[in-house]
A and B are shown apart, each in its own frame.
Chain A
Amino acid sequence: MNRTARQRRAWLSRALGVAAGSLLLRTAQAGTPDGAPGESVIAPHYLTTCRNGPDDFQLVLLDERGNLLHRQALPARAHGAATHAGRGTGCVFARRPGQWFCAVDLHRPGRLHTVAPPIDRRFSGHGVYSATGARLYTTESDIDRQRGVVGVYDVGTGYRRIDEFASEGIGPHEIVRVPGTDLLVVANGGIATHPDVDGGREPLNLDDMAPSIAVIDGRDGRPLSQHRLPDGQHRISLRHLAVDGARRVWYAGQYGRADDDRSALPAADTRALAGSFTLAADGTAAPGGALAPLLLPDGLLPGGHGYLSSVASAGDDVLYTAARDGVAFVVDPVARRVVDRQAYSDCSGVAADARGGYLVSSGTGDLAHLVRDGRWLDLEPLAMTPFAWDNHVGAVRGPDLY
């Protein structure tokens, strides 16, 4: 049996609840005094995932300073994370086209609860809990009909799938919730894929992309509004989202093109990779708050890759990461301008903390605390690890927005 097969079997054993003490890794033992999963109580601030080696992907819980509290194996590479502090639970989602998400008790981790999608659905890498934490919403693709859906899962019954509704577009990716409500905001990336074509990651409709951001009432799936970029910018795949303290929805875009396309990106598209709209109480755009690009300054993304990785808001500002350009930058949401940036290799994961700053992780193993200080974006190194941190970080104890 090769290593991958052994790892899969080991992971399966743990997923089924077999005692995993011998498999708990050294640093995890350091964070859990008795070394036995599920027996000690921890208070993590962040839920994320990483690559620890060939075919070795793990779920990780971190404290406020990025110290490792717990980690355990996942069946494959994951992508996004969702948390609900009140219920003390969280989920990590398989990378698209995903065939699983894993739920974990944030305070007594050790046993993962794994959920698979219906046979004709694939997870898209993200999800979000309802305000009470009773439901989990996931972005999914309906394989046969090439449309996006939002799956609805009942947390109390072990994440039983109880409903689904349209995401109002193709290729839904991140889904977020407007603080204090059950208004859902879904980024429909606009890129069609199929699991049978290049592992489900080959774009099939670059010329006809129609990305959008949909606002949906999470209680009943009723679409409330839909938002698109100006004409001519349909190649910007709207993929990641954050909501700030004034109900502004910020998007992070990725220019849709084939992997081997090295042509120069149109300047107008580079400048439009980030932007926002403002939500009214009824889920429509507030007067004067239509979706509009931020107009990123020239030179901000020197590599011209057309790729923003993630976005988060601590309330009064917004932080973006751009892994391919090795840059993180902070935006003043009122002035709608970039305040400052920091060079940060392969940075991607970003989560707002409760102190007005952000935890930012990188594929090179770094964890740092970034915070805006007036005109500057400060970077405080927290930890350097041997792990390649994955695209996203979920805040367990983030800003008091939710």
Chain B
Amino acid sequence: MIDCQTVRAPGTPSQASRHAVRCALLAAVLCVPLSVQADEGGAHALAQVAADTVDAALRPAYATFATEATTLADSMRTRCAAGAGPDTATLTTDWRSAVSAFAGIEFLRIGPLLDDNRLNRLFYWPDKRRAGERQLRELLTEPLASITADSMAARSVAVEGFPALERLLFPNGEVAGSEARCTTAIAVSGHVSAIAAALDRAWQDDDGIARQVREPRADDELLRDHEEVLRRIGTQIDTGLDILIERKLAPVLEGEVARLRGLPFVRSGTLVDHLRGNVASLRALMLDNGLAAAAGLESELGFEFRIADGHLDRLAELLAPAPQAIGAAHGEVGEVGEVSSADDWPMTLDEEQAGVVRALHSVLSSIRNTLRERLLPTLGIRTGFNSEDGD
């Protein structure tokens, strides 16, 4: 049995708060009969983790995404309109920041991101059948007046979000009239920005989804108690790690030669930015909200996340510098036969690069094991449905 009275409380207020949450949660899980877990300290601790998830993970991520998406859309608009806006280097930087910010919300699959198919609209991936490429080619032949940010929502999800925008900004020799490409890029980036702004508004509203997560109510259809909130958070972490490990990294390592084919954001050379955003969001969901601390795993998981960061830094060093976005001004964008430097980005990894991907895969798998085997069971959080109790 855990005796929280004998554990020295750390010094800083936030650490002390974490310590109190940890003690309360551990006591709730280990010291108190299950039937009364929802009462007293356990309930308070669950509420604190839920509130900190809103303040330390969800709201900041959506605010950053809205800011970066707006910056990118503004860059596109001014660059195309006057031909005198930000240069291609700035546009590339804006693109990279938006990619990273989006990756920061990709796994935060709760509330408004699930409404109106928004996640698919922002990021239609995987797209092995190249629906986005095919439909974008058709879109570029439409009358320009019909291609607006407002009209994008009525189109196929395959051309509404980042994959389509990447194809427009990094055309790789695909043919298109420059004006059409410019107009379409403005429309898609404007559409992405509008979705990002709507998500941010929804999360900043004190009486909206943020309140639902902080103060679940029995008559609320989405979240009825803090146990359900923690279950959703745990599911997001588990699912996010699965997507990152099994869908993004594992396929790279299959076969005799490591290859980047099929991964998102390879064309623009922002794959590492994307992965970094994914990892950051998982860290926020496990560490920044006090969840890992509540299970006594803050130091251990913090160390593993730092290892993951190190692998990402190393991968960024080893991969060739990202190509510049094709300049978005009239006359510069997507001229017939024009080839961007994105072609220079390697699809096949050498042994050292593959080794870093393998190491990243390994440390993330270790984090997933810690989550499944220790963190979630310690806190009594159930995530799987069919996998846990199927038939």
The answer to whether A323 has its CB under 8 Å from any CB of chain B is yes
The answer to whether B114 has its CB under 8 Å from any CB of chain A is yes
The answer to whether B386 and A390 have CB atoms under 8 Å apart is yes
Query: How many whole Å from A355's CB to the nearest CB in chain B?
Result: 13
The answer to whether A53 has its CB under 8 Å from any CB of chain B is yes
Query: How many whole Å from A336's CB to the nearest CB in chain B?
Result: 23
The answer to whether B250 has its CB under 8 Å from any CB of chain A is yes
The answer to whether A51 has its CB under 8 Å from any CB of chain B is yes
Q: Which among B21-29, B66-74, B124-132, B273-281 touches the partner chain?
A: B124-132
The answer to whether B228 and A54 have CB atoms under 8 Å apart is yes
Q: How many angstroms from the CA of A26 to the CA of B224 in the assembled complex?
A: 16
Query: How many whole Å from B255's CB to the nearest CB in chain A?
Result: 13
Q: How many angstroms from the CA of A53 to the CA of B114 in the assembled complex?
A: 16
Query: How many whole Å from B167's CB to the nearest CB in chain A?
Result: 18
The answer to whether A52 and B120 have CB atoms under 8 Å apart is no
Map CB proximity to B onto A379-391 as digits: 1 under 8 Å, 0 otherwise.
Answer: 1111111101111
Q: Which residues of chain B have C-beta atoms less than 8 A from A385's C-beta? A: 114
Q: Which among A141-149, A214-222, A359-367 touches the partner chain?
A: A359-367
The answer to whether B387 has its CB under 8 Å from any CB of chain A is yes
Residues of B244-274 contacting chain A, CB below 8 A: 246-247, 250
With contact pairs A53-B221, A125-B391 given, residues A384 and B114 touching in the complex (Cβ less than 8 Å): yes
Q: How many angstroms from the CA of A173 to the CA of B232 in the assembled complex?
A: 31
The answer to whether A223 has its CB under 8 Å from any CB of chain B is no
Q: How many angstroms from the CA of A345 to the CA of B113 in the assembled complex?
A: 19
Map CB proximity to A onto B178-193 as digits: 1 under 8 Å, 0 otherwise.
Answer: 0000000000000000
Query: How many whole Å from B366's CB to the nearest CB in chain A?
Result: 15
Q: How many angstroms from the CA of A326 to the CA of B232 in the assembled complex?
A: 18
Query: How many whole Å from A97's CB to the nearest CB in chain B?
Result: 11
The answer to whether A345 and B238 have CB atoms under 8 Å apart is yes
Query: How many whole Å from A330's CB to the nearest CB in chain B?
Result: 13
Q: Which of these, A52, A95, A125, A343, contacts B247 with CB under 8 Å?
A: A343
Q: How many angstroms from the CA of A364 to the CA of B387 in the assembled complex?
A: 10
The answer to whether B242 and A343 have CB atoms under 8 Å apart is yes
Q: Which residues of chain B have C-beta atoms less than 8 A from A346's C-beta? A: 239, 384-387
Q: Which residues of chain A have C-beta atoms less than 8 A from B243's C-beta? A: 343, 345
The answer to whether A386 and B114 have CB atoms under 8 Å apart is yes
Q: Give the one of B119, B129, B232, B387 with max A CB within 10 A.
A: B387
The answer to whether B386 and A348 have CB atoms under 8 Å apart is yes
Q: Which of these, B124, B388, B391, contacts A96 with CB under 8 Å?
A: B391
Map CB proximity to B onto A121-157 as digits: 1 under 8 Å, 0 otherwise.
Answer: 0000100000000000000000000000000000000
The answer to whether A3 and B128 have CB atoms under 8 Å apart is no
The answer to whether A79 and B391 have CB atoms under 8 Å apart is yes
The answer to whether B128 and A379 have CB atoms under 8 Å apart is yes
Q: How many angstroms from the CA of A1 to the CA of B224 in the assembled complex?
A: 16
Q: Which residues of chain A have C-beta atoms less than 8 A from B110's C-beta? A: 386
Q: Which residues of chain B have C-beta atoms less than 8 A from A383's C-beta? A: 117, 120
The answer to whether B128 and A323 have CB atoms under 8 Å apart is no
Q: How many angstroms from the CA of A96 to the CA of B389 in the assembled complex?
A: 12
Q: Which residues of chain A have C-beta atoms less than 8 A from B120's C-beta? A: 381-384
Q: Which residues of chain A have C-beta atoms less than 8 A from B117's C-beta? A: 383-384
The answer to whether A363 and B391 have CB atoms under 8 Å apart is no
Q: How many angstroms from the CA of A230 to the CA of B250 in the assembled complex?
A: 35
Query: How many whole Å from B168's CB to the nearest CB in chain A?
Result: 21
The answer to whether B356 has its CB under 8 Å from any CB of chain A is no
The answer to whether A25 has its CB under 8 Å from any CB of chain B is yes
The answer to whether B384 and A363 have CB atoms under 8 Å apart is yes
Q: Which residues of chain B have C-beta atoms less than 8 A from A402's C-beta? A: none
The answer to whether A307 has its CB under 8 Å from any CB of chain B is yes
Query: How many whole Å from B368's CB to the nearest CB in chain A?
Result: 11
Q: Which residues of chain B have C-beta atoms less than 8 A from A384's C-beta? A: 109, 113-114, 117, 119-120
Q: Which of these, A307, A323, A373, contacts B129 with CB under 8 Å?
A: A373
The answer to whether A324 has its CB under 8 Å from any CB of chain B is yes
Residues of A166-216 contacting chain B, CB below 8 A: 173
Q: How many angstroms from the CA of A345 to the CA of B387 in the assembled complex?
A: 9
The answer to whether B100 has its CB under 8 Å from any CB of chain A is no
Query: How many whole Å from B379's CB to the nearest CB in chain A?
Result: 17
Which chain B residue has the least Cβ–Cβ distance from A362?
Answer: B386
Q: Which residues of chain A have C-beta atoms less than 8 A from B129's C-beta? A: 373, 378, 380
Q: Which residues of chain A have C-beta atoms less than 8 A from B242's C-beta? A: 326, 343, 345
Which chain A residue has the least Cβ–Cβ distance from B223?
Answer: A53
Residues of A11-38 contacting chain B, CB below 8 A: 25-26
Q: Which residues of chain A have C-beta atoms less than 8 A from B124's C-beta? A: 381
Query: How many whole Å from A216's CB to the nearest CB in chain B?
Result: 22
7 nearest A-B pairs in the assembled complex, by CB-CB distance: A363-B385, A343-B246, A348-B386, A323-B386, A388-B385, A323-B387, A345-B242
Residues of chain B whose beta carbon lies under 8 Å from any beta carbon of chain A:
109-110, 113-114, 117, 119-120, 124-129, 131, 218, 221-225, 227-228, 232, 235, 238-239, 242-243, 246-247, 250, 384-388, 390-391
Q: Given known contacts A96-B391, A364-B385, what 8 new A-B pairs fall within 8 Å (CB)?
A: A95-B391, A307-B390, A323-B390, A324-B384, A324-B387, A364-B235, A383-B117, A390-B386
Residues of chain A whose beta carbon lies under 8 Å from any beta carbon of chain B:
3, 25-26, 51-54, 79, 95-96, 125, 173, 239, 307, 309, 323-324, 326, 343, 345-348, 362-365, 373, 376, 378-386, 388-391
25 residue pairs of the A-B complex, CB under 8 angstroms, read: A25-B221, A53-B223, A323-B390, A324-B390, A343-B243, A345-B243, A346-B239, A346-B387, A347-B386, A362-B386, A364-B385, A365-B109, A373-B128, A373-B129, A376-B128, A378-B126, A378-B128, A379-B126, A379-B128, A380-B127, A380-B131, A381-B120, A384-B113, A385-B114, A388-B385
